[in-house]
Amino acid sequence: MGRKRVLITGAGGLIGTIVRRRLADRHEVRLLTHEPIDEPSHVADIADLDAIVPAFVGVDAVVHLAAVPDVEAAWEDVLPANIVGVRNVFEAAHRGGVGQVVFASSNHVIGMYEREAAPEIYDADDRREYDERVEPRPDSLYGVSKGFGELIGRYYADRFGLHVICLRIGSVVDRPDADVMHDLARPTDDPAELEHRRRTGAIWLSHRDCAELVARALDADEVRWAVVYGVSDNARRFWDLSAARELLGYRPQDGAPV
């Protein structure tokens, strides 16, 4: 649980901004971004291995967030950022002697289960729940790319002793947690709005819980390999949090109400 030198890739993005602010007082944080941001950063494209390797020297742990985040992204965008990029990050971590990589995977690795079970899956009394052992069924090339990241992460863990934790993150939205909670609780009779809220509330990961999940993963020094879901404790949640709780000690503070 000591202070670590932590490199955050994609530090300029939505989750990157949340995470770097939360980790700054616990760890010595270094940033890697595609473009310059408001803090000192190693600016490089993760598709370029040689350009990123120097940022991994003298680092204890990497939080790998850099990716094309669009679920509908085309292959031409997914390939360099999410396939070549994630391989380069694991390779750079290996070459730099980094001990741990926390990889932002995605629920879209198994998104086809949700797609097939919707909208009943969003019912609060629907008992279906998916854990990390279900067969991957990506709903998109984005989901395929995140599954690839898990696969190559497993390879680096098994072959090179890297500690790897994959977080299958839910929906992190660009609005303050309190605003999201407020909106979800607002009265409405609009069926479309209610339907939208049911899904939004089911898969929501608050900023606070997201930052806590990443912080817990970084503290889990004894975990050599794990895949866990990252979601707040929502009433309509359908991803199993057992592994996140047991392996990382994740305790969500937020949760969308019924």
> Helices H, strands E: what count in the chain?
10, 7
Shorter beta-carbon distance to its own copies: residue 70 or 179: 70
Q: Residues 258, 124: contact at Cβ < 8 Å?
A: yes
Q: How far is the CB of 152 from its own copies (least distance, A)?
A: 5
Quote the CA–CA distance of 93 and 87 in Å, as a whole number: 10
Q: Which of 113, 122, 130, 142 is catalytic?
A: 142
Q: Residues 103, 166: contact at Cβ < 8 Å?
A: yes
Shorter beta-carbon distance to its own copies: residue 19 or 244: 244
Q: How far is the CB of 143 from its own copies (least distance, A)?
A: 7
Q: Is-catalytic flag, 113?
A: no
Q: How far is the CB of 50 from its own copies (least distance, A)?
A: 13
Which residues of the chain form contacts with its own copies (CB under 8 A)? 75, 79, 83-84, 87, 91, 112, 133, 135-141, 143-144, 147-148, 151-152, 154-155, 158-159
Shorter beta-carbon distance to its own copies: residue 139 or 177: 139
Q: Where are the alpha helices (DSSP H) in the chain?
A: 14-23, 49-52, 75-78, 85-95, 111-117, 141-160, 177-185, 191-203, 207-219, 242-243
Catalytic residues: 142
